[in-house]
Amino acid sequence: MAISGLSQVLPTTKHLSGTVMYQWQGCWYPSDHLKAAMDVSKHFMAHPDNTLLASASKTGTTCLSVLFSITSRGLISKEEAQKLILSTHPHKLIPHLAIEYKKAIKLPLSRLFSTHIPYSTLPDPLKDSCSQIIYISRNPRYTFVPLWEFAQQMQRGNSEPLTFEDAFEQFCEGNTNCGPFLEHVLEYYKASQERPQNILFLTYEEMKADTKGGVKRMAQFLGRSIEREEEGEETVEMCSFERVSNLDVNRSKEKSPWGSLPYNSFFRKGVVGDWVNHFTPAMTERLDRITQEKNHGPDYNLDSNRIEANVSRNGLVRVAGR
């Protein structure tokens, strides 16, 4: 069935931007991502040296630069890699599978790409191959606020972005891009436990607390261990959120070639704990309750307070009491 016909029979709901999303294989997609996700699922042919950075929306943009820096070692000079990182938007360094599918499949065999597609929807050849997947997760509280703010810039046609309260309701119900969010996280976590040699599971908060340690874990996982201490420090400095987000290319209001959004819309504050400035006590309680219910699944604790306490001990954020 053609996409136009299929979209007529799929369940629909509102994207946080006010546009329509379609549910396919238990996951929600905006109309422009739906066909790409179907094409990827049906036609993508994996290679052992594929590397995929997977994440839910608004959780892992900065890691794109880190991943490019690590994987480019030995392929191009350090100077060339640095020049590209400092002059190129992270999403242009690593193409997005559901947005730039045709470009991604034409890359050389040493292919590097990113995706928001859930693990259950990834093509079987990719899951069954020796391809390496790095997944970056983020606390649900921290994820929602940048997700909503990003959606405010995505207005199309006569669509009206959802209010903060209505968007929060959608998030809690699991109705977000490539969501439900918690299922997205837990699917990749479970897969990382079953296939640790192929899937590395990281969290944004832990990367923020110990960036150099996170970079080393990524490099070791990819078989590109950082032997000199200076190398790790150089990568952290070059790819830090503060540096990357303030580059001219990433502060530009010029429209990006994907989604017609300005380049500067992909970066926010990068601050752990900023949710306290937006959530009401009732919102916090509700999202925590939903999160705790999901913790009855695989042995991965998504508890927001636990994550905040761990990060707070590293002196990165002072957590407000509930």
Strands 132-137 and 199-203: parallel
Read off the amino acid at residue 300: Y
Structural contact between residues 263 and 89, judged by C-beta atoms closer than 8 angstroms: yes
296 labelled catalytic: no
CA dihedral sign, ordered 186, 190, 196, 198: negative
Report helix, strand or coil for 1.
coil
| H-helix or E-strand spanning residue 242 | helix 241-245
Q: For residues 195 and 188, what is the distance between their CA atoms, to the nearest angstrom?
A: 10
Spatial neighbors of 96 by CB under 8 A, at least 6 apart, are 104, 113, 114, 115, 116, 258
Question: CA dist 277 to 144, 313, 319, 320, Å?
Answer: 12, 21, 11, 10
Q: For residues 23 and 46, what is the distance between their CA atoms, to the nearest angstrom?
A: 25
Counting Cα atoms < 13 Å in the Cβ hemisphere of 203 gives 22
Q: For residues 27 and 51, what is the distance between their CA atoms, to the nearest angstrom?
A: 23
State the catalytic residue, choosing from 89, 116, 184, 296: 116
By annotation, the residues acting in catalysis are 116
